[in-house]
Amino acid sequence: MTAAGQTPTRCPMLEPRGPLSLIVWRMLRERPTTSGVDLTDVAHVLSAKPAGRALLDDLDLQRAWFIIGELDGRGVCGVDDRWNDHPAVASLRLDIGDALEAAIRDRVGAMDPCTAEELPARVRRELDGIAAPALSSYLRCEGTAADYRDLLRHRSLYHLREADPHTIAIPRLTGRAKAALVEIQSDEYGGGREEDMHATLFARSMNSLGLSSDYGAYAETLPAVTLAWSNTLSLFASRRRLRAAVVGHLLALECTSSIPNKRYAEGLRRLGFGDEATRFFDEHVEADAVHEQIALYDMSMPLLESEPDLSVDLLTGFRAAVLLDADVAGHLIAHWKVTAVHE
């Protein structure tokens, strides 16, 4: 276990769980060459998979995309960084990414456009229309230390790199929307202080509960539903044309963070954990209440004012963030209740 804030640079390579992740695994175990890589089986493998949202539960595809995404992020243990720029990876990124994007859009459903002025009311309707499992309430009142460890393991895919995927949108925005995103991200990165970075605070929470804060340490054990939750954001961030989906995704996080984090902190204190475990959650109670206003009025609305054609993508990112988070919450609560019955 490494100290908080000193996590290893690279993500572990995941073992293949089907023909698609096996293609990726075998390719990346070799050294990149200028000669072509045989990817003729990829189209056949993808065509044999179920269409639409069922791909979000396909561990094979989710592992394949996760590793491809990490090539462009922290890097992958034992993999030559030159693979990230290789035409074969670009081809896989396009084909697997298209399949994943189609699955996400199917999960989200049809989306009507809206104007910048209509966005605040639309956001409220979106949140009112999604019945998400009461994960934070469950943990505050009934959660055990083991349940919290599960939560942190699953959430670590994002929170140990918190802000990074959203930051990619900064050079893709202009004007007020860009300035607002920079303002939010500055807080996420601790105002330039490593010890206050939200990723560092999350690592400390993990360490306080006896978990490793090594980046990707638990990825091998996580189900497709959690990988899909993480992969959705990395997909949005990988495609410039989906920059509004990144903005919508961040808006959703800021709109749904403050109250749940207050409950998470209360549950940890009920279990006897101290400030080292709760500070990450405490920090988000006040910060995200402010960020919600900035994300809506200073970032998202100005973006739609300048690029009104992006409203469907922005709302897609928003709804995807809420729905896929709810999917993970439902998975966790169901698992915990089954575990409690057998104890």
How high is the pLDDT of residue 35?
66
> Position of tokens 């002025």?
117
- Confidence band for 5, pLDDT divided at 50, 70 and 90: very low
Residue 4 lies in a domain: no
What single DSSP character describes residue 294? I
Final residue of a structural domain among 108, 134, 168: 108
Q: What is the mean pLDDT of the chain?
A: 94
Contact 302, 177 (CB under 8 A): yes
Residue 257 carries which DSSP code?
S
Question: Residue length, the chain?
Answer: 343
Q: Are residues 142 and 94 in the same domain?
A: no
* Separation of alpha carbons 173 and 343, rounded Å: 51
Tell me the residue range of the domain where 65 lies.
Answer: 19-108
The domain tally of the chain equals: 2
As a whole number of Å, the CA-based R_g of the chain is 20
Residue 121 has pLDDT above 60, yes or no: yes
User: Does the residue 156 lie in any domain?
Assistant: yes
Assess whether 129 and 241 both reside in one domain. yes
CATH code: domain of residue 123: 1.20.910.10
Helix (H, G, I), strand (E, B) or coil at 37: coil
Would you say residue 7 has pLDDT above 60? no
Whole-angstrom distance, CA of residue 289 vs CA of residue 163: 17
Q: Which residue has the tokens 């897609």?
A: 316
Cα–Cα distances in angstroms (integers) from residue 147 to residues 153, 154, 263, in the given order: 10, 11, 14
Given 108, 137, 169, which residue is the final one in a domain?
Answer: 108
| pLDDT at position 2 over 60 | no
Among 108, 129, 156, residue at a domain's last position: 108
